Amino acid sequence: MKKYNKFNLILLSILFTSNIFAQNNSFKKITVADLWKNWTFWANSVYGVRSMNDGIHYTTLNRSGDIYKYSYETGKLTDTVFKAVDAGINPEEYYFNANETKILLQTNYKRIYRRSFTAEYFVYDIQSKKITPVSDNGKQQVASFSPNSEKIAFIRKNNIFIKNLDTGKEIQITFDGEHNKIINGIPDWVYEEEFEFNRAYEWSPDGKKLAYIKFDESKVKMFRMTMFAGSNPELIKNKLYPECRSFKYPKAGENNSVVSVHIYNLENKKTITADIGTDTDIYIPRIRWTKDVNKLAVFRLNRLQNKFELLFTNPNNGKSKIIYTETNKYYIDEADFDNLRFLDDGKHFVMTSERDGYRHLYLHDLTGKQVKQLTVGNWDITDYYGYDNRRKMFYYQSSEESPLNRTVYRVSIKGKKEKLSKQEGTNNAEFSKNFNYFINYFSNSETPNYVTLHNAKGKLIRVLTDNNKLKKLVKEYGGVNKKFLTFKTTENIILNAWIIKPPDFDSTKKYPVIITQYSGPGSQEVLNKWSFGWDNLLAQNEIIMVCVDPRGTGERGEEFKKQTYLQLGKYETIDLIETAKWLKKQNFVNPNKIGIWGWSYGGFMTSLCMTKGADYFSAGIAVAPVTNWRYYDNIYTERFMRTPQENPSGYDDNSPINFADKLKGNFLLIHGTGDDNVHWQNSAEFSEALVQANKQFNEFYYINRNHSIYGGNTRYHLYTMMLNFWKKYLLN
pLDDT digits (tens, 9 = 90+) for 545-557: 999 999 999 999 9
Q: Hey, CA dihedral for 6, 9, 14, 18, is it positive or negative?
A: positive
Q: Percentage of residues in the chain with pLDDT exceeding 90?
A: 93
CATH number of 15-41+471-730: 3.40.50.1820
Q: Long-range contacts of range 71-80, CB-CB < 8 Å, 24 or more positions apart? A: 72/432, 72/436, 72/437, 72/453, 72/461, 73/437, 73/461, 75/453, 75/461, 75/462, 75/464
- Cα distances from 570 to residues 564, 573, 578, in angstroms, run 7, 5, 13
Spatial separation of the C-alpha atoms in residues 578 and 568, rounded to whole Å: 17
Q: Around Cβ 376, how many Cβ atoms within 10 Å? A: 13
Residue 238's pLDDT is what? 62
Spatial separation of the C-alpha atoms in residues 298 and 337, rounded to whole Å: 11
pLDDT tens profile 394-407: 999 999 999 999 99
Spatial separation of the C-alpha atoms in residues 717 and 609, rounded to whole Å: 25
Residue 1's pLDDT is what? 39
Residue pair 636/659 in contact (Cβ under 8 Å)? The answer is: no
Residue 10's pLDDT is what? 31
For residues 81, 85, 87 and 88, what is the CA-based torsion angle, rounded to 10 degrees? 150
Q: Position 29: which residue type?
A: K
Would you place residue 482 in the very low, low, confident or very high pLDDT band (cuts 50, 70, 90)? very high
Enter the pTM of the model.
Answer: 0.94
Spatial separation of the C-alpha atoms in residues 582 and 584, rounded to whole Å: 5
Residue pair 521/497 in contact (Cβ under 8 Å)? The answer is: no
Average pLDDT over residues 223-236: 78
Would you place residue 48 in the very low, low, confident or very high pLDDT band (cuts 50, 70, 90)? confident
Average pLDDT over residues 584-610: 98
Buried b (16+ CB within 10 A) or exposed e, 682-699: bbbbbbebbeeeebebeb
pLDDT tens profile 294-306: 999 999 999 999 9
Spatial separation of the C-alpha atoms in residues 592 and 595, rounded to whole Å: 9
- Cα distances from 272 to residues 264, 268, 470, 527, in angstroms, run 7, 11, 57, 48
Would you place residue 25 in the very low, low, confident or very high pLDDT band (cuts 50, 70, 90)? low
Residue 234's pLDDT is what? 61
Phi/psi at 483 (5° precision): -125, 135
Q: Does residue 385 sit in helix, strand or coil?
A: strand
pLDDT tens profile 264-283: 999 999 999 999 999 999 99
Would you place residue 233 in the very low, low, confident or very high pLDDT band (cuts 50, 70, 90)? low
**251 pLDDT more than 80:** yes
Spatial separation of the C-alpha atoms in residues 246 and 189, rounded to whole Å: 12
Residue pair 573/579 in contact (Cβ under 8 Å)? The answer is: no
Average pLDDT over residues 414-441: 96
Would you place residue 22 in the very low, low, confident or very high pLDDT band (cuts 50, 70, 90)? very low
Spatial separation of the C-alpha atoms in residues 362 and 413, rounded to whole Å: 10
Range list of β-strands (E), 413-493: 417-419, 426-431, 437-444, 447-455, 460-465, 482-488
Would you place residue 239 in the very low, low, confident or very high pLDDT band (cuts 50, 70, 90)? confident
pLDDT tens profile 320-346: 999 999 999 999 999 999 999 999 999
Residue 16's pLDDT is what? 35
| Mean pLDDT estimate for the chain | 94
Spatial separation of the C-alpha atoms in residues 224 and 28, rounded to whole Å: 47
**21 pLDDT more than 60:** no
Average pLDDT over residues 617-643: 98
Q: Does residue 309 sit in helix, strand or coil?
A: strand
For residues 286, 330, 364 and 409, what is the CA-based torsion angle, rounded to 10 degrees? 90
Q: Which residues does residue 149 pair with via DSSP β-bridges, in sequence order? A: none
SS3 letters across 401-428: CCCCCEEEEEEECCCCEEECCCCCCEEE
**432 pLDDT more than 90:** yes
Spatial separation of the C-alpha atoms in residues 533 and 522, rounded to whole Å: 25
Spatial separation of the C-alpha atoms in residues 268 and 282, rounded to whole Å: 31
Would you place residue 696 in the very low, low, confident or very high pLDDT band (cuts 50, 70, 90)? very high
Residue 14's pLDDT is what? 30
Would you place residue 229 in the very low, low, confident or very high pLDDT band (cuts 50, 70, 90)? confident
Among 372, 394, 365, which residue's Cα sits nearest to residue 381?
Answer: 394
Give the H or E element holding residue 546: strand 544-549
**24 pLDDT more than 70:** no
- R_g (Cα) of the chain, nearest Å: 26
Residue 578's pLDDT is what? 98
Who wins on pLDDT, 23 or 481? 481
Would you place residue 240 in the very low, low, confident or very high pLDDT band (cuts 50, 70, 90)? confident
Residue pair 422/444 in contact (Cβ under 8 Å)? The answer is: no
Residue 230's pLDDT is what? 78
Would you place residue 2 in the very low, low, confident or very high pLDDT band (cuts 50, 70, 90)? very low
